[in-house]
């Protein structure tokens, strides 16, 4: 049986890794190299304390797998992640993440209430917080190593990768998806997996399917050397403010969590430059909420596309309206965090199996979606605005 996977980012390589050996797997990638879009633009934080319960289920499973790779990396050759710990804090809305904390604790994840957050995370010195938690086991992961490790594992089992092969549309025959039309001609398959990140919604539309997936641009900056940065420090996120700091090199990787709806380019190349407005937003937030960092100097930075469904839950599994089409898309801001679990559950469902840690229905690509939904342009919870399909 032949399966074509569209896209060689974290989603596509994860499905290939888990499916290869049971299928003849071919990955088609429009770019020159795998993992060069959103999968190369992230901050690499592995966060189990997320807002959505199904995202958390995927994250919890992925971390179990990442921990196992520490001692037995297999095709990854070296472990793609390491434990650094994390601090999640709230400046205004102390009820936010309550459920998430309970869920994580039930799963045995250490979540400690912090009285003096700055004692664990020096960037929080002088920050007025209502609540903070320390998760000593949280990790950072290298998305590049994840993509290449999963690809290596898939290739070891016979999967192939064709780069510079843009898929133009899905091929439909008798109400079934029977392959894809590429720039080089048709590629027939028994099943197609849509793992095309920010481009997935448009490809689905080529088959007449309406699957709202909204690419949103976010800014990350890297600072020059800073005296407070050290590799052993936890990454730190003030969630309701929308501000995070991850020690990176001798400086910090920072984001003010800006969100701007932005359709992807026609071909590869979704990475963008840092614009003045989000940069000013970030510096303003730092001044007010991480004053210790107010003397940082931005060295470099970039923007990338995080692609969400309206309910911010991934689209995983069989498309209920188009037999033969499967999904691994809508990974938003949690594609590194959920990477290994995404492919594991999609491959299991393709093989008519179940996994004990997530159900298919809540992440079904055909689930009802809101017609208007909130996005967070300035990264704060309170500054959310409603958008719809027509919002540019
Ligand atoms: C600024 C930023 C910060 C982030 N920080 C984090 C973080 O700290 N932690 C975390 O867990 N996640 C984070 N993420 C999210 C994470 O990076 C994404 O969820 C993840 O990379 C999505 O992977 P993907 O495979 O779905 O998409 P992509 O990596 O974009 O891969 C899709 C692939 O499909 C290919 N493709 C598209 N259309 C076609 C076509 N028509 N034909 C052939 N190929 C095609 C593309 O070229 C691309 O290679 C962040 C993202 C951004 C942008």
Would the CB of 314 count as within 6 Å of ligand 1? no
The 10s digit of each residue's pLDDT in 242-290 is 999 999 999 999 999 999 999 999 999 999 999 999 999 999 999 999 9
Q: What percent of the chain has pLDDT over 70?
A: 100
pLDDT grade for 386, boundaries at 50, 70 and 90: very high
Measure the CA–CA gap between 10 and 27, rounded to whole angstroms: 12
Q: What is the pLDDT of residue 325?
A: 98
Which residue's alpha carbon is nearest to atom 3 within ligand 1?
42
Assess whether the C-beta atom of 8 lies below 6 angstroms from ligand 1: yes
Pairing mode, strands 191-194 and 2-6 = parallel
In degrees and rounded to multiples of 5, residue 302 shows phi and psi of -160, 170
- How remote is the CA of residue 94 from the centroid of ligand 1, in Å? 31
Our answer on whether the CB atom of 247 is closer than 6 Å to any ligand 1 atom is no
Entry pTM: 0.98
Where does residue 32 rank: exposed (0-12), middle (13-18), buried (19+ CB within 10 A)? exposed
Separation between Cα atoms, residue 212 and residue 333, nearest integer Å = 16
CA distance 200 to 302: 22
CATH architecture of 2-388: 3-Layer(bba) Sandwich (3.50)
Residue 268 alpha carbon, nearest atom of ligand 1: 47
Rounded CA separation 242/51 (Å): 13
Average pLDDT, the chain: 97
State in Å, rounded, how far the first CA of the chain is from the last one.
41
Asked if pLDDT for residue 185 goes beyond 90, the answer is yes
DSSP alpha helix (H) spans, 253-294? 276-289
Cβ(195) to ligand 1 under 6 A? yes
Residue 392 confidence (pLDDT) above 80? no
Q: Where are the domains of the chain?
A: 2-388
Write out the two tokens for 248. 């990176």
């Amino acid at each position: 049986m032949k399966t074509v996977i569209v896209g060689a980012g974290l989603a596509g390589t994860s499905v290939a890794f888990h499916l290869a050996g049971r299928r003849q797997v071919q990955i088609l990638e429009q770019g020159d190299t795998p993992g060069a879009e959103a999968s190369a633009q992230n901050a690499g934080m592995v966060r189990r304390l997320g807002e959505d319960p199904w995202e958390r289920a995927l994250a919890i499973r992925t971390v179990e797998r990442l921990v196992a790779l520490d001692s037995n990396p297999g095709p990854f050759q070296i472990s793609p992640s390491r434990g650094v710990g994390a601090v999640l804090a709230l400046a205004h809305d102390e009820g936010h993440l309550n459920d998430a904390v309970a869920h994580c604790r039930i799963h045995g994840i250490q979540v400690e209430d912090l009285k003096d957050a700055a004692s664990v995370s020096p960037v929080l010195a002088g920050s007025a917080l209502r609540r903070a938690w320390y998760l000593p086991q949280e990790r950072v992961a290298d998305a590049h190593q994840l993509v290449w490790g999963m690809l290596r594992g898939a290739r070891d089992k016979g999967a192939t990768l064709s780069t510079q092969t843009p898929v133009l549309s899905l091929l439909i025959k008798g109400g079934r998806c029977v392959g894809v039309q590429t720039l080089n001609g048709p590629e027939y398959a028994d099943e197609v997996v849509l793992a095309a990140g920010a481009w997935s919604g448009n490809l689905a539309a080529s088959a007449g399917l309406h699957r709202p997936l909204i690419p949103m641009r976010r800014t990350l900056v890297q600072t020059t050397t800073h005296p407070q940065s050290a590799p052993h420090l936890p990454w730190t996120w003030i969630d309701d403010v929308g501000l995070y700091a991850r020690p990176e090199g001798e400086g910090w990787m920072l984001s003010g969590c800006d969100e701007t709806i932005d359709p992807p380019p026609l071909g590869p190349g979704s990475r963008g430059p840092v614009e003045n407005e989000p940069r000013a937003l970030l510096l303003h937030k730092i001044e007010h909420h991480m004053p210790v960092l107010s003397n940082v100097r931005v060295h470099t930075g970039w923007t990338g596309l995080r692609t969400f469904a309206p309910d911010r839950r991934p689209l995983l599994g069989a498309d209920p309206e188009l037999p033969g089409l499967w999904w691994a898309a809508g990974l938003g801001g949690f594609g590194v965090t959920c990477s290994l679990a995404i492919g594991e559950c999609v491959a299991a469902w393709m093989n008519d199996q179940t996994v004990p840690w997530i159900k298919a229905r809540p992440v079904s690509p055909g689930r009802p979606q809101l017609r208007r939904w909130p996005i967070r342009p300035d990264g704060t919870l309170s500054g959310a605005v409603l958008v719809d399909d027509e919002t540019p």
